[in-house]
Amino acid sequence: MQCPNCHARYAEDDLYCQSCGADLTKKSTSIVPLQSNLPSLIYNSPVPRNVAAGVGALAVGVGIELLRRNLLARLQPGPSFERSLPMLSDMKDLAFPQQKKTTKLPKGYEIEETVVAVRRIIRRTR
């Protein structure tokens, strides 16, 4: 067989000509063109490479920060109910004030106390 470019002889299993380097694969004559599975490269991109690299680096940085915050939140102990609820001894003082506490008030002042209790129940609805 002969190369169509330089007319040098080649074997049937050769893909390129040994003398000129021309492509010796048979061209497809089918109506439907064959598509190669090679990745396409963007040569005329509207965004310069350094801008695209900066946006990519920013996205990676935001992702790492979100991951760090999530891990820190999981490592910290949750809110304990013991610290958030008032102590029972304080509740007894509010409900039944002790007589030992005497406060001297200026003339014309008086103390009026009101005890308010709130009970909040949070339930999940279905």
Q: Where are the domains of the chain?
A: 1-27
- Phi first, then psi: what are they for 62, rounded to 5°? -65, -40
The pLDDT value given to residue 115: 79
Residues of the chain under the 70 pLDDT cut: 28, 30, 32-45, 78-101
Measured from the Cβ of residue 3, the count of other Cβ atoms closer than 10 Å reads: 19
The pLDDT value given to residue 81: 57
The pLDDT value given to residue 41: 62
Choose among 35, 18, 14: nearest CA to 26. Answer: 14
Measured from the Cβ of residue 17, the count of other Cβ atoms closer than 10 Å reads: 19
Token readout for 30 is: 């089918």
The pLDDT value given to residue 39: 65
The pLDDT value given to residue 34: 64
- Phi first, then psi: what are they for 17, rounded to 5°? -70, 135
The pLDDT value given to residue 120: 83
- pTM of model > 0.85: no
Plot region of 52 (φ>0 → left; ψ -120 to 50 → alpha; else → beta)? alpha
